Each structure stands twice: as C-alpha cells, then as structure tokens.
Amino acid sequence: MRRLQVQEDGIRLDKFIALSLNSPRSHARRLIVAGRVYVGGKVVRIMTRPLKMGAWVEISAYEADAVPTVQSAELPVLFCDRYILVLNKPAGLLSEDDRYSDNSVESMAPELLASLDEKKTELWLVHRLDAGTSGVLIMARTPMASGSLGKAFHDKQAKKTYWALCQGTPEHATFEVDGPIGRVKGTQHAVIPSGRPALTKFRVHNAKNGFCWIEAMPETGRTHQIRVHLAHVGLPIVGDKLYGGTRYIEHDNKRHLVPRTMLHARCLRVRHPKSGEKMTFEAPMPDDFRDILSLLDFSC
C-alpha cells in the first residue's frame, strides 16, 4: 500500500491523488472508480469527496503505478477512410470526454488523424466502450456518417461480439439473458423490473477449473449490459469488482492481480455509411487478456 496524508483541508479526492502521484486527473479517476482508493481504511468511489487535513489515503503501490497515460500514437487504427475511423481502444481509456478526465478517445482521436496528415479531424462518437473495456470502437468523420451509423446501432443492425473471462461454470454451451437493466446505486446497474429491455446472447468458448471464456453478443446497448447480465446468472467477469468479480487469480501458489475487467470488444459488423458495403472489424486479443487466459490454463 502507498499511504498518503492529506495536507490541505477540503481538497477533492481525485485532485489530491493526481497531485500526490504527479499524474493526470484521469489516472486518479480510474483508480477511484476501480475501487483501489481507501480513505480511513474504507473504499471510496466518490471522486469529488472533500478530504480533511490529516486524513490518510491509501493506494496499492502496484496499482498506483500500473495505470499508464495513453498517448494518441498508442491508439491502433483498424480502418480509416473519408467517412469512418475504427480504433482498437486500449483498456483504461474513456471513450468520451468528461469533466474529470484529461484523456479520452474523443479528445485524442483528432490528434491522431492530424498525425496521419488528415486535413479533416472532426469526429463523432456513435457508440461507447467502458473505460476498462478494450477493443473495436468506430467513429464517424462526417455528419452523414454519424447519422447513418447512429441509426444502425439504434436499429440493431450493428452486430457486436465481445470476449469475457468469467468466474463460474455455465450450465449450457449457449444461453441468453433477457432481463431489463436499470441503475440501482451510483454507477452500479442490475436486472430490475423497472429497467430498460436488454438481451444478450452467449456462447461458451471454453470452461475449466471454475472459470470460463465466453463470447457475448449484445442485442441491445444498455449501460454495463454484458457485465450485469453475466453477474445476474452467477458468472461475474474476472476483475469486475463492481459486479462481484475477483481481483486476484491464484496460480503456482501466487496471487496475481487482475489489472481490469476482463472484457474485450472483439468484433464489429456494420454496413459502411456511404457505400452500404458489409464490413467486419476485429481487434486482436490484448496482452493483459492473454496473460490472464494463461494463468487460468486456457489455450489461446
């Protein structure tokens, strides 16, 4: 644990961590959201919480040092033309700007286009991935493309496939969860009667030793949908503390920290907004995902 004492009464938690670690505010925010920050020995996820002078804030030294600042050059381009930009979003990076973050795909992608000598750098987000989720993210480069892609996602014509590493043993090789999702507390969501309709189809890629590698195909786009649906059926995603996933894997008599929620947007199928051509974009398995697979004795 890295232990820090507050020297200024009333300073916000996210600002205090950023200043103490000499890191961007986005770094501090991700640590807080991940439940890796403790005030008075208790986990605190309120980024704006004011601190009292003399209070102790604790962060795991490993976790505090392990969240890198992503640069635009580190945003792999899967496809780019006059109408769309498709990226392989790294874990730990927000999709869109918010008031707490220094970096996001939305703020960094125009810089990336400029580095590719593209004259037009304006972009529109048409869907989002959680900060902890890696994989395929598509952006529009014209208002026409934004409208076309937005309609494709709304009308369920854009088909998404994810990989998830989960705890538990599924009862069936294929299954689906049809359960309405709504907010229950803070950022946490759940299957509740008053929620919005949500449907996810699943296929088990492999299962052993109390863990499983699952392919998820959401038919709708609710907040935390795959995470909520898997937790609802007793298969929380490894690393997803918010929904009951373990943060550690035991291997060779050692405890290995899971760096994030093990969810990867592997594939997106959608028609090109201008030509109408059916297009498929795939993001390769990231190293951290492969490492956890190896710890769980799954062959990639």
Count CB atoms within 10 A of the CB of residue 111. Answer: 13
Amino acid of residue 133:
T
Half-sphere exposure of residue 125: CA atoms within 13 angstroms, side-chain side: 16
Based on its alpha-carbon atoms, the radius of gyration of the chain, rounded to whole angstroms, reads 20
Taking the C-alpha atoms of residue 232 and residue 237, their distance in angstroms, rounded to an integer, is 11
> Which residues does 254 contact at the CB level (< 8 Å), separation at least 6?
none
Q: Is 130 a catalytic residue?
A: yes
Q: Which residue has the tokens 């952006």?
A: 139
Pairing of strands 199-208, 134-140: unpaired
Q: Which residue has the tokens 């959608």?
A: 270
Per-position DSSP letters for 196-243, written without gaps between them: B--EEEEEEEEEETTEEEEEEEESS--TTHHHHHHHHTT-PBTT-GGG
Q: Which of 9, 65, 130, 155 is catalytic?
A: 130
Catalytically active residues are 130
